[in-house]
A and B are shown apart, each in its own frame.
Chain A
Amino acid sequence: MGKTLRQNSKKAIPIVPGMPMEPGQRHSGYPFQTGIIGARKDESQFFIEITRRWVWSADAKGLFTYVSPSVSDTLGYSPRDLVGRKHFFDQCRSSKAKREMLTCIKNRRPICHMLHDVRHKDGRVRWLSTNATPKLAKDGRFLGYVGLDEDITESVAGQLKLAESEARLSAILENTTDLIWSVEPKKYRLLFWNSAFTEFVKDEYGVPLREGMLCDEVLPLKVAERWKLFFAQVLRDGPFELKYVLHSKKRTFHLAFNLVRNQGVVSSISVFARDITESSKAEEVLLKAHQKLAESQARLSAVVESTSDLIWAVDAKEFGLLTYNTPFADYCEQGLGIRPALGFTPKQLTSTARAGEWESFYRRALEKGPFRRELATISLDRILDIYFTIIKHEGVIFGIAVFGRDVTVERRAQRELEQQRLEMTRFQRVSTIGQLAASLAHQLSQPLTAILANARAATRFISASPPRLLEIQDILEDIIRDDRRAAEVIGQLGTLLNPKRSPFVSLPLNNLVMQADELLRSDAANRQVIVEMHLGTALPNVSGDPVQLTQVILNVMLNGLEAMENSSAKEKPLLVRTFLAADGSVQVCISDNGPGLPPDRLNQLFEPFYTTKKQGLGMGLSVSKAILERHEGRISAENNLEGGATFIISLPAVVSSHSLVKQTQPR
């Protein structure tokens, strides 16, 4: 309204002071009945012009005889356009309004606040409120109507919107499964509720609802008291929410109490109740899952913390620490002098060189997957067996987890054992030498004796007259041969005493067997055991360290000799055979006629310190086995049916070289 007023004041229309302009006044009463028309024409004209209403008069036929100019503001028509035309009733879309209006007109009744729609000149719908009074002549003849129309389009639109939103709200209220109701704040009488609430109450308490019911009328006494407390609480403390468990149905509700205020005064208390049974169940499940997770995390953490292994994880980018356990922290502190903290990168933990090494390990884990690495740490002189693995979840790599086990003790023990074994091997070798010393000395003394005697004889032959030159020539040839023989013996001695590992060479197994036989010959003679050799022809070569392999054959043959020494069946030989086995390996079988092996301990034979000999160390066979394993060979033992034992040494054949080995018969 104020807007229209300002526009009109621009037209320099003087405003009459004291003119009542309150908004409420416009709708009240019937201006024409209160004698506006009878007022001074100027004043009434002014009044008519400034208002957004317009006045009109129509004749008995319903045709406009006068329309005030303000009609154009509302409907776009000028009064001139309208005079002589019918009132807008015809345009009314609401048939009810139209009918009512026509009834009024027909009966010459005043038209009161008739709401109807008309079209603006440009076609827009406008809502008008029409008030009109029939004009009657002094003789009572009907002359027509005088009326006042008001554009209430905006107000109608507002109402329509309100109605619409009310309808929407109502739809929401009615369609929701939430229970919604409100009570008045004094006695908590029921004011409003939705259908969900109706059904719930009917279902739960069997009570039909009506407005103004008290809590006691709906609810059992105890429950009602409780609700009264809730209402009192919201009045006292303001809105609140709570979880409400309805035990009878094992359902859980989430309740929200709110206050509805009207002009600062609490007009009602609204309650929203949502059934959260399912979600609370889910919540419960979730909670339990959380608890379990927490428990398992706690357990894991306990494990992680109680282990002496170092455990840590780093992210996949900077390799900063994501997590670590106490042993890791202690290790860093003791070994690197740094107490680690989350986010520390390798560079912050250790020297640049070492950090680079670690980064390369992490990168390798990222690129090639988990791997294991044994690392010797300089600072603490420890050996760590470290396992790198990637932490992955649904295809996304989060980081690298590292498990480090201190294997210093194990490795040292292993190293010591290896050392011991090496020493034992050496000792064994020396002891074998001890056993063979007689043989070697004998073998060496033979050529020396021969050489010396030959030389002395030659001296005599030379001084004879004439010198016996032919004999001297024979002697010299013998001397050369014996010298070579001595050199060979010394060579054998050298290889037996030399603990260094020679490179593998391809060689005929028969040669090794013969060499072993050579070394054992006098030993065998002393023990009065005959060694019988059956060497296979055209055997493929084997690959290996000749000294070590000879030692193996020697060990086994020596065992055979020792087994047979105290045997009564001395007429039988120690049988040594070489042949190509069905599986393609070259084998040496050494069969003795001794007491045989204890059948229940066959599997222990090759374990260190297992011995059946009174003075044995139990190292020979275990060393032999170790040597053969280095050569990808095998050694096994079995008892012969006819007594004694057979040891089988098997070595892979060298495929490429099929050098024929001349069969050499033993002497």
Chain B
Amino acid sequence: MNSSDIKIFIVDDDPSVRRSMARLLNATGYHVETLSSAEDYLQTKRSRGPGCLVLDLQMQGLNGLELQKTLTEAGREIPIVFVSGHAHVPESVQAMKGGAVDFLTKPFDQKAFLAAIDRAIAKDHVTRKAQTDQRSVDSRLALLTPREDEVLWQVVKGRLNKQIAFKLEISEKTVKVHRARVMEKMRAGSVADLVRLTEKTNGKNSSSEQ
């Protein structure tokens, strides 16, 4: 993984802490952007490349948890590593439930910190790849005719051609033709492939099964 492509945001109202964490991540090879408040972070443009957010829990104004919530609601998913002056159990639980990668209690050593950053970035990679894959599946699904779409969801459910023909009130031969087209358009080698690809698509056509 090329660290230089990765950008890490640090949001902390303590300038000294902010600066030191930035230095450490810098020395490790990350691009770092430091911000003194949650509000400031919300003003930044969504970065294209992978990265993560190092977020202080207690801040004047919008605090860490509130920023996390705001980001989730806005669909701005970014792995968050929380740092806090001391271990607040309720807050840490809330943070982790909200999808935080880690919750570090200050002062922390680089090992734990960098490991958390690594995990966050890895997570971001996964998230970003999944998002890319999904976008590809979606584009393939978009190529299907309505009848092909109907056939696809019947196939994914494991129904036989005969059953599909009955359900859709078409001939078995026609089902086979549609099925071949679907496999081709979805670039699926097998029914198993087809099932995996459509797994993430939360059955927007699931209503058609009825």
List chain A positions with a Cβ less than 8 A from chain B: 438, 441-443, 445-454, 456-458, 460-461, 464, 471, 475, 478, 481-482, 485, 522, 525-526
Query: Nearest Cβ in chain B — how far from A537, in angstroms?
Result: 26
B 96-129 to A, binary, CB cutoff 8 A, 1 in contact else 0 = 0000000001111110010000000000000000
**CB-contact partner of A450 in B14, B27, B105, under 8 A:** B14
Instruction: Tell me whether B26 is interfacial, beta carbon within 8 Å.
Output: yes
Contact partners of B174 in chain A: CB under 8 A: none
CA distance A525 to B113 in the complex (A): 26
The answer to whether A449 and B19 touch (CB under 8 A), given A443-B85, A522-B85, A525-B59, is: no
**CB-contact partner of A453 in B60, B85, B105, B113, under 8 A:** B113
Instruction: Tell me whether B20 is interfacial, beta carbon within 8 Å.
Output: yes
- The residue in chain B whose Cβ has the minimal distance to the Cβ of A454 is B20
Instruction: Tell me whether B155 is interfacial, beta carbon within 8 Å.
Output: no
Report, nearest first, the 10 A-B pairs whose CB atoms are least far apart. Answer: A442-B85, A460-B27, A448-B107, A453-B20, A445-B106, A457-B23, A449-B106, A450-B20, A441-B86, A449-B107
- The residue in chain B whose Cβ has the minimal distance to the Cβ of A445 is B106
Instruction: Tell me whether B58 is interfacial, beta carbon within 8 Å.
Output: yes
The answer to whether A478 and B86 touch (CB under 8 A), given A445-B106, A452-B107, is: no
5 additional contacts (CB under 8 A) given A438-B86, A453-B23, A458-B23: A445-B86, A453-B21, A456-B109, A457-B23, A525-B59
Contact partners of A454 in chain B: CB under 8 A: 19-20, 23-24
CA distance A448 to B83 in the complex (A): 13
CA distance A471 to B109 in the complex (A): 20
Whether A461 and B16, one on each chain, are in contact in the complex, defined by CB atoms closer than 8 angstroms, is: no
Whether B59 and A482, one on each chain, are in contact in the complex, defined by CB atoms closer than 8 angstroms, is: no
- The residue in chain A whose Cβ has the minimal distance to the Cβ of B105 is A445
**CB-contact partner of B16 in A446, A456, A457, A525, under 8 A:** A446
6 contacts between A and B (CB under 8 A): A442-B86, A445-B85, A446-B14, A446-B106, A456-B110, A481-B16
Contact partners of A448 in chain B: CB under 8 A: 106-107
Whether B23 and A445, one on each chain, are in contact in the complex, defined by CB atoms closer than 8 angstroms, is: no
Contact partners of B20 in chain A: CB under 8 A: 449-454, 457, 475, 478, 482
Instruction: Tell me whether B145 is interfacial, beta carbon within 8 Å.
Output: no
**CB-contact partner of A438 in B85, B106, B108, under 8 A:** B85
Whether B26 and A457, one on each chain, are in contact in the complex, defined by CB atoms closer than 8 angstroms, is: yes
Whether A452 and B86, one on each chain, are in contact in the complex, defined by CB atoms closer than 8 angstroms, is: no
Contact partners of B107 in chain A: CB under 8 A: 445, 448-449, 451-452
The answer to whether A446 and B109 touch (CB under 8 A), given A461-B27, A478-B20, is: no
Q: How many residues of B contact A (CB 8 A)?
A: 26
- The residue in chain A whose Cβ has the minimal distance to the Cβ of B108 is A449
CA distance A445 to B60 in the complex (A): 17
Contact partners of B58 in chain A: CB under 8 A: 442, 522, 525-526
CA distance A481 to B144 in the complex (A): 65
Query: Nearest Cβ in chain A — how far from B7, in angstroms?
Result: 18
The answer to whether A453 and B24 touch (CB under 8 A), given A441-B86, A445-B107, is: yes
Whether B17 and A450, one on each chain, are in contact in the complex, defined by CB atoms closer than 8 angstroms, is: yes
**CB-contact partner of A478 in B19, B26, B27, B105, under 8 A:** B19
CA distance A447 to B58 in the complex (A): 15
- The residue in chain B whose Cβ has the minimal distance to the Cβ of A522 is B58
Instruction: Tell me whether B28 is interfacial, beta carbon within 8 Å.
Output: yes
Contact partners of A449 in chain B: CB under 8 A: 17, 20-21, 83, 106-108
Query: Nearest Cβ in chain A — how far from B30, in angstroms?
Result: 12
Whether B17 and A453, one on each chain, are in contact in the complex, defined by CB atoms closer than 8 angstroms, is: yes
CA distance A513 to B85 in the complex (A): 24
Whether A450 and B110, one on each chain, are in contact in the complex, defined by CB atoms closer than 8 angstroms, is: no
Contact partners of B16 in chain A: CB under 8 A: 446-447, 450, 478, 481-482, 485
CA distance A492 to B175 in the complex (A): 81
**In the complex, which of the residues B26, B63, B86, B109 has the most CB atoms of chain A within 10 Å of its own CB atom?**
B86
CA distance A175 to B144 in the complex (A): 166
Query: Nearest Cβ in chain B — how far from A172, in angstroms?
Result: 119
Whether A446 and B17, one on each chain, are in contact in the complex, defined by CB atoms closer than 8 angstroms, is: yes
Contact partners of B109 in chain A: CB under 8 A: 452, 456
Whether A450 and B108, one on each chain, are in contact in the complex, defined by CB atoms closer than 8 angstroms, is: no
Contact partners of A457 in chain B: CB under 8 A: 20, 23-24, 26-27
Contact partners of A441 in chain B: CB under 8 A: 85-86
CA distance A626 to B83 in the complex (A): 41
Query: Nearest Cβ in chain B — how far from A450, in angstroms?
Result: 4
Contact partners of A446 in chain B: CB under 8 A: 14, 16-17, 85, 106
Query: Nearest Cβ in chain A — how far from B43, in angstroms?
Result: 21
The answer to whether A450 and B19 touch (CB under 8 A), given A456-B109, A456-B110, is: yes
Whether B24 and A456, one on each chain, are in contact in the complex, defined by CB atoms closer than 8 angstroms, is: yes
Contact partners of B17 in chain A: CB under 8 A: 446, 449-450, 453
Query: Nearest Cβ in chain B — how far from A478, in angstroms?
Result: 6
